[in-house]
Structure 1
Amino acid sequence: MHRRLLLAAGATAVLGAASGAALAQSYPTKPVRLVVPFAPGGTTDIIARVVAEKINGPLGQTMIVENKAGGGGSVGATEIARAAPDGYSLGMATVSTTAANPAINPKLAYNPITDFTPIINVAATPNVIAVHPSFPARDYKGFLAELKKSPGKYSYSSSGTGGIGHLQMELFKNLSGTFVTHIPYRGAGPALNDTVAGQVPIIFDNLPSALPFIQQGRLIAIVIAAPQRLAQLPNVPTFKEVGLEPVNRMAYYGIYGPKGMPRDVVDKVHAAVKKTIDDPSVKKRIEDTGSLIVANRPEEFAAQIAAEFEVYKKVVAAQKLTLE
């Protein structure tokens, strides 16, 4: 009798494993949605759409981009955290949603370390402070002098409260001894539109979304967060060069899903994204924005998210930053 029970239990386990494997092997059998937690037009949206446009071959299904803006990216991130872990609801993971926002807002409905399954970091991108051409300075020295001369006179736009643009600009203000009023938006796209229109004089943004306006002369780049000066902006110094190395942090744009995703499904998505960004045409489109391809493994991306979260928790504590 005991032997029969053991055999039955073993058969059930084998069947369960087999059905799980079959599910993973059949994935995906329908379109996969990719949630962008910001409005259209920003860097997160740009990179998501570049990948989604070409991934149908490697993935075997269409990837549909959905913009879910709000809360500095937390609305879209929360939706992914609560989704079924079947691989059909994925999200764009950014520094804002996985590090900066959780660091400044402990009341978020998700934990960036435990509520997601990191899959792949697609690219790292520089950040930039840029100004409208009407701003009375065209370089960093003049920019800093103007801010110090008129504290509180100017405002800056960002992709949202608690986002990387918000926290990095606040860190810049603290370290440079300046005061600029924060104007948060529901994504980089709307923030850029108002800055280009001259309604806000300064923006802290990721370079890919701001670069076209900089190249057109509709924005003036002042200083960038990057390992070294960029070929696209050879005359623009890095934060490290101007003595503000703590601000010299790049952003990342990866793909993750809800916690508990089957490893086989994670591996399929990872392989499909990796093959897509290895395509020379896709790689060129991403690199032309000033971004650097990363394409790391799930475990490496998870470690990166955890490390960045710790960095921003320390920034928030050291600078006494709050949402108010």
Structure 2
Amino acid sequence: MLAIAGLALAVAGGPAAAQDAAAWPTRPVTLIVPFLAGGPIDVIARVQAQKLGEILGQTVVVENVGGGGGALGAQRIARGAPDGYIFVMGNVGTHAYHPTLYAKPLYDPVADFQPVGLTTESPRLLVVRPTLPADDLKGFVAFAKANHATMSFGSGGLGSATHIPCLLVNQAMGVTVTHVPYRGAAPAMQDVIGGRTDYMCDSIQTAVPQVTQKNVKALAVLSGTRSPLLPEVPTATEAGLPGVEADAWNAIFLPKGTPEPIVKKLVAAVNQTLDDPTVRKRLDELGLSIVPPERRGPDYLAKYVKSEIDRWAPAIKAAGLKVE
């Protein structure tokens, strides 16, 4: 009798679940930003969330869940209900660095998420405290080699997208510098401005205002090309540290098992958001590159995450990083 009753419930629940998925969303949805408010990912998320809400016909609530270099916020999605009402803006830190960095990963970036699509990419910018006695990368390298034992650099958290790029810089310089992790990039930047740490590798969108206000000095763009926001700042390769490229990316992920109708509807809404002229203008002003249509969607993102895990593993292992 119990088996028959269970079967009856399953049959009854099937059409109802399908109907719920087709009607999604019928209430506000939550976009998790796995970092503190005011940081680079938070800025991007809030630009996109308003338009996304207009397209979906429901409010998109941005909720900041900081800690663990983004891992705690991402973990919440990995364990979240697959009903479409919660998703995350992940990035290279949460989905490419994490499985190599953690001795016991909090989640599997491939198996525990339903990819929705890449959204934006941006370079990191090497910035130093205003009182550091170097005005270009060559002078900074010389200073670091002479003083690395007493220097420190900040980041938005261990294993974050503002941490690993600076490891590449340190490896290229041949120095070991004390890392000071914060719960977000914003407080890390404040300590560079205040001279309590020497440098950081911040996102272009949050670093540029501090550079233009002369709160910090920009020494190099960690990318293959210069940024139109700071055309006078050379790439690391141009300035003498070849091969130091650390472009970061952002992407939307749902919990694994989210019904396909919901996934398709969110994919379409995200793409429509990225194509909106107002959103594109704002993201362009922030120095972000919107990924082209051929690099969007769940299939591309699923393959891309796997390739990025493989790409970053050697650098993390070479630095001897491991979170127990």
* TM-score, normalised relative to structure 1: 0.91
CA distance in 2, matches of 1:322, 1:78: 18
CA distance in 1, matches of 2:256, 2:192: 37
CA distance in 2, matches of 1:13, 1:64: 32
Structure 1 residue 30 corresponds to structure 2 residue 27? yes
Range moving further from structure 2, 61-70 or 170-179:
170-179
**SS state at 1:240 partner:** helix
User: What is aligned with 1:283?
Assistant: 280
**SS state at 1:164 partner:** coil
* CA RMSD between the two structures: 2.0
Structure 1 residue 239 displacement after superposition: 2.6
User: What is aligned with 1:182?
Assistant: 179
Letter aligned with residue 134 of structure 1: T
Deviations 1:81-106, CA, capped at 9 Å, x for gaps: 10001110101111111111321113
**Tell me, which stretches of 5 or more residues in structure 1 are unaligned?**
1-10
Structure 1 residue ranges (4+ consecutive) displaced by more than 6 angstroms after TM superposition: 11-16
Q: Does the aligned pair in 2 maintain the 1:229–1:236 contact within 8 Å?
A: yes
**SS state at 1:106 partner:** coil
1:321 to 1:12, Cα distance in 2 relative to 1, 3 A:
closer
CA distance in 2, matches of 1:28, 1:20: 13
CA distance in 2, matches of 1:71, 1:12: 41
Structure 1 residue 247 displacement after superposition: 2.8
Letter aligned with residue 48 of structure 1: A
Q: How many residues align?
A: 314
User: What is aligned with 2:4?
Assistant: none
Q: Does the aligned pair in 2 maintain the 1:159–1:165 contact within 8 Å?
A: yes
**SS state at 2:148 partner:** coil
Structure 1 residue 244 displacement after superposition: 4.0
Letter aligned with residue 198 of structure 1: G
Q: Does the aligned pair in 1 maintain the 2:166–2:200 contact within 8 Å?
A: no
User: What is aligned with 2:78?
Assistant: 81
User: What is aligned with 1:7?
Assistant: none
Structure 1 residue 268 displacement after superposition: 0.9
Structure 1 residue 200 corresponds to structure 2 residue 221? no
Deviations 1:48-69, CA, capped at 9 Å, x for gaps: 1101122222111100000000
User: What is aligned with 1:299?
Assistant: 299
Structure 1 residue 104 corresponds to structure 2 residue 101? yes
Q: Does the aligned pair in 2 maintain the 1:39–1:190 contact within 8 Å?
A: no
Counting only pairs closer than 5 Å after superposition, residues 1-324 of structure 1 correspond to structure 2 as 18-242=15-239, 244-294=241-291, 296-323=296-323
Range moving further from structure 2, 128-137 or 61-70:
128-137
Structure 1 residue 166 displacement after superposition: 1.8
* Identity %, equivalent residues: 40
Structure 1 residue 284 displacement after superposition: 1.0
CA distance in 1, matches of 2:94, 2:20: 30
CA distance in 2, matches of 1:210, 1:126: 11
Range moving further from structure 2, 274-283 or 44-53:
274-283
Letter aligned with residue 318 of structure 1: A
Q: Does the aligned pair in 2 maintain the 1:38–1:67 contact within 8 Å?
A: yes
Q: Does the aligned pair in 2 maintain the 1:147–1:179 contact within 8 Å?
A: no
Structure 1 residue 246 displacement after superposition: 4.3
**SS state at 1:275 partner:** helix
CA distance in 2, matches of 1:72, 1:32: 24
1:319 to 1:246, Cα distance in 2 relative to 1, 3 A:
farther
CA distance in 1, matches of 2:171, 2:323: 16
**SS state at 1:123 partner:** strand
Letter aligned with residue 134 of structure 2: A
Q: Does the aligned pair in 2 maintain the 1:48–1:92 contact within 8 Å?
A: yes
User: What is aligned with 1:5?
Assistant: none
CA distance in 2, matches of 1:246, 1:20: 50
Structure 1 residue 12 displacement after superposition: 10
CA distance in 2, matches of 1:245, 1:37: 31
**Tell me, which stretches of 5 or more residues in structure 2 are unaligned?**
1-7
* TM-score, normalised relative to structure 2: 0.91
